[in-house]
Structure 1
Amino acid sequence: RTSAFRIAEVRPQVSGIVLKRNFTEGSDVEAGQSLYQIDPATYQADYDSAKGELAKSEAAAAIAHLTVKRYVPLVGTKYISQQEYDQAIADARQADAAVVAAKAAVESARINLAYTKVTSPISGRIGKSNVTEGALVTNGQSTELATVQQLDPIYVDVTQSSNDFMRLKQSVEQGNLHKDSASSTVQLVMENGQVYPIKGTLQFSDVTVDESTGSITLRAVFPNPQHSLLPGMFVRARIDEGVQPNAILVPQQGVTRTPRATQW
């Protein structure tokens, strides 16, 4: 069965009312493309307020440092006490810390404002929207707004009996079967019987055997530039797992198959 190469469930990272949906269901979208617009009014106000607080903190820090600068000659001539000078230095450092905190608050508000534009995390094909314009969405909600699936390339998961897997592995180890490369090539036969024109590559085999079926799952990856393969399709795979050098070759026309799948 085929499955998407990557799947991204789009969820909001801030709460608010959905003002607009910016995509057509079933269309291809690019990573970073705007999908939804959440009402930014409150987050814009928070951002502007944070910038105002930063400006106040920077002004207070400037005055605090100017005070320290003015106190330097005065403490040497005893016009001010050492305690007053130390307090001025402490006030300046505290003002600097307030500037750092204000900058962090501005950055946090800027990020939240940016999150009101919900974008696609990956390039791929987007499915149906689970929300409409005017809906209230919340940060951390369990229901995704939409799902984006990368279809090029695409995965194909096939099963092989554990007996066949062990037999092939033993043949390779004993030298009876030679592999031309580290990765085996795979050919697909579509549901309508047509052969998929592009060959794929075997990526890996599962590390466990399915207890109910006694089979191992193998995963292959196929280029899918025309999106001819869609997730969930049933296909048949032909895996080129190696070459038996001492095998006896006969013409294909001379091979027949009995009803019990025995070849002659």
Structure 2
Amino acid sequence: MFMAGQGLAQTPPGGKPAGPAAVGTVTIETQDVPYIRTLPGRAVAFETGEIRARVSGVVEEILYAAGDKLEPGDPMFKIEDDSYTAAFASAKAAVAGAEVQVQTTRATVDRYKTLQGNAVSKADLQSAEAAAASAVASLAAAQAALDVAQLDLDRTTVRSPIAGIAGIATVSLGALVTANQADALATVTRLDPIYIDVSDSSAGMLRVRAQIDDGSLKLGTKVGVALVLENGETYDGEGTVVVLGNVVSATTGTFDLRVQFDNPKRLILPGQFLRVKMTLGSTRAKLVPQRATGRNSDGTLTVFVAKDGVAKKVALTSSGSQDNAWIITAGIEDGDLVIVDGLTNLRDGAAVKPVPVTIDADGVVHDAVVDTAVAPDATKPTTGNN
């Protein structure tokens, strides 16, 4: 049985070679491979509310604590309201006076109508009607002033306009604030859901479209969106594309798109730089385990192939990666035996003895499963050299 890491055959004391080196190999086959574009992105808050005073006055109370989860309408600041309470009372009294005036002028009109032609002339009636109309207009103006006074009084309690997490207050008790001032009193940020703004190159977009046109890329029913956090872990949740950009930047040659993720645990915070993996569909390609490959001095990706009992070094063309394998578009053919284990000191042209192995999701080499009646230990895991 082949054991990973066996490497080249050992030379016995007599100096004669022991024979070809046993090497672990996997057979290459063309298969459907997910077509994934990994793009840089930056987290952006779903909503951000800047809290400002709508009336002037001194801050009497701060009604929240930084980090509180707020709902729309929750109070955040209290501004002294003595003058606004007085203004509201004055406006309310003006409305009451205007209502009395309307009632009085309308009564006069009614009385004049019954007396017209006797003690009241037509001109007197017209004057009374004009006075009644003026009283109605004065009542409307007084009601409008009351509404404004009510609004100003209500605005002495500054409330959150959105649901989100409250930030640190930028003012303290006793601070004088003015209506619609430039500086915000605080901010409220909605983190669930959250947006990720992604940039992609226009050249990459053209390559994707060319692959769609020539049939090498088969689009899926929807775009799969996954997120890789700053620590390299994959975020638990699938995103959705919200906006596709339609303008290419003249300076960077990129266009923007926006995706959305649920963020109930607040793992994603605005400003974080992340990676977004977008699965557009599938393409026919060959997968070569990354542990089997190397690089020439010029950066060319290479791999050893076992052919006719000899290890041959070949150059590969890659279009990206899938899990622990490179996606290969040129350099090897279906049925080639790629050497994935026993690579230590292996040289181009060396005599080798291929032994079938498998590689699990963690990149660990195991003997290939064979008929246990013939080789009962064939499934024993091995430890690889590369």
Q: TM-score, normalised by structure 1?
A: 0.91
> How far apart in 2 are the matches of 1:170 and 1:116?
61
Deviations 1:38-91 (A, max 9, x none): 111111111110000000000011010001111112113x21111111100111
RMSD: 2.0
Q: What is the alpha-carbon distance in structure 2 between the residues aligned to residue 22 and residue 179 of structure 1?
A: 53
- In the alignment, what sits opposite 2:88? 47
Aligned length: 259
Q: When you count helix as a share of all residues, which structure comes out higher? A: 1
Aligned partner of 1:151 in structure 2 is 191
Give how far 1:207 is off.
2.4
Name the residue aligned to 2:101.
Answer: 60
- Name the % identity: 35
The residue aligned with 1:83 is 123
Structure 2 residue matching 1:180: 3-state secondary structure:
strand
Alpha-carbon offset, residue 249 of structure 1: 5.3
Task: Answer yes or no: is 1:99 the counterpart of 2:144.
Answer: no
Residue 238 of structure 1 and its aligned partner are, at CA, apart by 0.6
Structure with the greater alpha carbon radius of gyration: 2
Change over 3 Å in CA distance of 1:160–1:61 after alignment to 2? same
Give matches, 1:31-42, under 5 Å: 31-42=72-83
Task: Find the partner of 2:110 among 65, 69, 82.
Answer: 69
CA distance in 2 between partners of 1:236 and 1:214 (Å)? 19
Q: Does 1:171 align with 2:211?
A: yes
Q: Once the 2 structures are TM-superposed, how far is the Cα of residue 176 of structure 1 from its aligned partner?
A: 4.4
1:14 counterpart residue number: 55
SS at structure 2 position matched to 1:113:
helix
Q: How does 1:186-225 map to 2 (within 5 A)?
A: 186-225=225-264
Counterpart in 2 of 1:141? 181
> 2:250 is paired with a residue of what secondary structure?
coil
The one-letter code matched in structure 2 to 1:209 is: V
Alpha carbons of structure 1 residues 116 and 257: separation in structure 2 relative to 1, 3 Å:
farther
Q: Deviations over 1:183-242 (max 9, x none)?
A: 522111111111101011122232222333322222111000111111111111111122
Amino acid at match of 1:159: S
Distance 1:208 1:67 in 2: 70
SS at the partner of 1:199? coil
Q: For the structure 1 residues 229 and 106, does the alpha-carbon distance in structure 2 shift closer, same or farther, using more than 3 Å as the test?
A: same
Q: Which residue of 1 aligns with 2:348?
A: none
- The answer to which of 143-152 and 20-29 deviates more is 20-29
Greater per-residue strand proportion: 2
How far residue 169 of structure 1 moved from its aligned partner, in angstroms, is 3.0
Aligned AA for 1:41?
D
Q: Secondary structure at the match of 1:156?
A: strand
Superposed displacement of residue 10, structure 1: 0.7
The corresponding residue for 2:276 is: 237
TM value normalised by structure 2: 0.63
**Distance change in 2, residues 1:87/1:257 (3 Å):** farther
Q: Distance in 2 between matches of 1:221 and 1:121?
A: 22
What is the alpha-carbon distance in structure 1 between the residues aligned to residue 121 and residue 189 of structure 2?
70
- Structure 1 residue 248 corresponds to structure 2 residue 288: no
Give 3-state SS (helix, strand or coil) of 1:8's partner.
Answer: strand
Structure 2 alignment gaps of length 5 or more: 1-41, 302-317, 319-325, 329-386
1:117-128 → structure 2 map (5 Å cutoff): 117-128=157-168
Q: Which amino acid aligns with 1:33?
A: D
CA distance in 2, matches of 1:140, 1:120: 15
Q: Residue deviations 1:134-174, cap 9 Å, x none?
A: 10111121101111111001011122121111222343455
**Residue 162 (1) aligns with residue 202 (2):** yes
Instruction: Specify the SS of the correspondent of 1:235.
Output: strand
Distance in structure 2 (CA, Å) of the matches to 1:255 and 1:163: 30
The one-letter code of the counterpart of 1:167 is R
Name the CA distance, whole Å, in 1 between partners of 2:212 and 2:145.
62
Counterpart-to-counterpart distance in 1, 2:292 and 2:276: 21
